[in-house]
């Protein structure tokens, strides 16, 4: 068998007709016979090109409202017949089946139909049967057939047709076949997940068809890739290539800022907030966020939920940082920020993020619901005689949002809607608390009147004792320890307010 085939007959059946005209024109110029179905055939005829109907080949009309058009031995026989196998060729001759050398398909838009919120009946009708079957058949027989499985391949197909006058090599056919199976598996994954929304079938399926090679992984000796549609979430308008670690920090930043509605600025380092403040004016939010830890802010990721103005840009331009994220930028602010050629500048688009999280563990994958619970004052149950003041309640809610997005074990100290300090990623809650207190004092914060949030309950009273001696006046925690009573008694005897939420926020 020759490694090169000359295309003589092409079957075309597509949902989207745009971008198809140049292909039809070129195939006609090369003298390739066209066979098509329904709407695609009408489209080709309207362009003024000659095309045969699949019905003329099969001697059967399209039936069942278009559900059955190409599912016929005279179609699939012509695609699946092995050119090098004499018995296959004899059967084609016996049953008068023409060989089909190329198949062009564009599937029903199932994924888009689901995303649009269409009703169940409409979704079901967008499950492609004939098209997906054509793709699999042609891809399986790539040694003899070229499969073009979607619009994304039209440009490459035209290049091949122009360069080689319809002659396609085995390597090119195999590459197109691999892309076809990639598309078909992705398509089937979405169908399965649509039917398995209740998760009655314990099967984990995910498919990302967009990927990019990163400079390296977490460290230079590790390879790294990102799979996903980054451009759906961000518009990158300046800066160097985004790294593996940048992506981790950007993900943490976007999830953190999503819990804040008022004007807020945050600084993150290694996936944790090292500075965060909410203020009526953006410049004040930036100033107080930076004050939380101006040392750790160096080389960090900055994010705000408000349009970035010139005044704030001038101030943050004084700091070295990896990336800045905002929903929009004033023109003069961008001129300032772009002064550093490597600085990554991102516009954060409005988009719903996935509500499922997964990570590889051992020889498998862990999957869980995303922690989307954000407690408000109504969720706080006073556990002590003293009840928090309105100001303390506001700070408790503020601190608890930050603790939810910090690595466990974690303690967050806050005051007047400002992150004073945090202790994150510690092996004991006491160490996390001590670290937070020490850090706050090193930046000359007055801890009197500060509130404390913990991601999990206190197993002993020692944490509230240390906090009380440092000047902390209100505490928020899940509660649930068998020794909660000891912490409550200490708080009652030292005029500390404490509330329980019943919600733990571990993050590992």
**Enzyme catalytic residues:** 140, 270
Q: Which residue has the tokens 């930043």?
A: 253
Phi, psi torsion values for 134, nearest 5 degrees? -60, -40
Residues 24-46 as b or e (16 or more Cβ within 10 Å = b):
bebbbebebbbbbbeebbebbee
| Close Cβ partners of 1 (under 8 Å, ≥ 6 residues apart) | 83, 84, 143, 144
| In contact, 266 and 288? CB cutoff 8 Å | no
Residues 72-90 as b or e (16 or more Cβ within 10 Å = b):
bebbbbbbbbebeeeebee
Residue 427, SS3?
Answer: coil
Both tokens of 313, joined, read 């840009």
Q: How many residues does the chain have?
A: 508
Nearest to 101 by CA among 232, 10, 219: 10
What residues pair up with 135 in beta bridges, in sequence order?
Answer: none
Q: Which residue has the tokens 């029903």?
A: 108
Q: What is the DSSP string of 174-187?
A: HHHHHHHHHHHHHH
Cα 106 to Cα 36: distance, rounded to the nearest angstrom = 13
| Close Cβ partners of 207 (under 8 Å, ≥ 6 residues apart) | 185, 186, 189, 190
């Amino acid at each position: 068998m020759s490694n090169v085939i000359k295309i003589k007959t092409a079957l075309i059946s597509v949902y989207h007709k745009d971008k198809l005209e140049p292909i039809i024109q070129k195939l006609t110029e090369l003298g390739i016979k066209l066979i098509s179905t329904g709407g695609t055939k009408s489209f080709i005829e309207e362009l003024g090109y000659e095309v045969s109907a699949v019905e003329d080949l099969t001697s059967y009309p399209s039936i069942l409202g278009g559900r059955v058009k190409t599912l016929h031995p005279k179609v699939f026989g012509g695609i699946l017949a092995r050119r090098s196998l004499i018995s296959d060729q004899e059967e084609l001759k016996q049953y008068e089946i023409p060989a089909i050398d190329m198949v062009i398909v564009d599937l029903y838009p199932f994924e888009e139909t689901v995303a649009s919120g269409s009703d169940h009946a409409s979704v079901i009708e967008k499950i492609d049967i004939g098209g997906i079957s054509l793709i699999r058949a042609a891809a399986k027989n790539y040694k003899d057939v070229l499969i073009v499985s979607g619009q994304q391949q039209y440009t490459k197909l035209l290049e091949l047709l122009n360069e080689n006058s319809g002659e396609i090599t085995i390597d090119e056919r195999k590459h197109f076949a691999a892309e076809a199976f990639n598309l078909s598996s992705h398509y089937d994954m979405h169908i399965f997940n649509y039917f398995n929304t209740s998760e009655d079938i314990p099967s984990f399926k995910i498919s990302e068809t967009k990927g990019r090679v990163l400079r390296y992984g977490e460290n230079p000796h590790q390879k790294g890739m990102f799979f996903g549609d980054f451009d759906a979430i961000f518009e990158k308008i300046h800066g160097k290539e985004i790294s593996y670690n940048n992506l981790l920090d950007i993900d943490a930043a976007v999830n953190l800022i999503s819990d804040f509605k008022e004007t807020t600025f945050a600084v993150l380092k290694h996936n944790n907030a090292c500075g965060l403040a909410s203020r009526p004016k953006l410049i004040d939010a930036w100033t107080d966020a930076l004050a939380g830890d101006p040392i750790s802010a160096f080389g960090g990721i900055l994010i705000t939920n408000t349009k970035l103005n010139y005044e704030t840009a001038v101030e943050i331009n004084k700091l070295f940082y990896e990336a800045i994220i905002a929903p929009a930028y004033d023109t003069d602010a961008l001129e300032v920020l772009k002064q550093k050629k490597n600085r990554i500048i991102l516009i954060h688009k409005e988009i719903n993020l996935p509500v499922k999280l997964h990570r590889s563990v051992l020889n498998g994958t862990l999957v869980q619901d995303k922690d989307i619970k954000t407690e408000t004052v109504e969720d706080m149950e006073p556990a002590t005689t003293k009840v928090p003041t309105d100001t303390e309640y506001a700070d408790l809610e503020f601190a608890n949002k930050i603790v939810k997005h910090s690595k466990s074990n974690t303690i967050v100290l806050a005051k007047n809607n400002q992150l004073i300090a945090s202790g994150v990623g510690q092996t004991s809650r006491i160490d996390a608390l001590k670290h937070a207190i020490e850090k706050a004092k090193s930046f000359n914060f007055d801890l009197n009147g500060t509130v404390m949030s913990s991601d999990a309950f206190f197993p002993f009273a020692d944490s509230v004792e240390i906090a009380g001696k440092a000047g902390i006046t209100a505490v928020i925690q899940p509660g649930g320890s068998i020794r909660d009573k000891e912490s409550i008694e200490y708080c009652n005897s030292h005029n500390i307010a404490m509330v329980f939420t019943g919600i733990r926020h571990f993050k590992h």
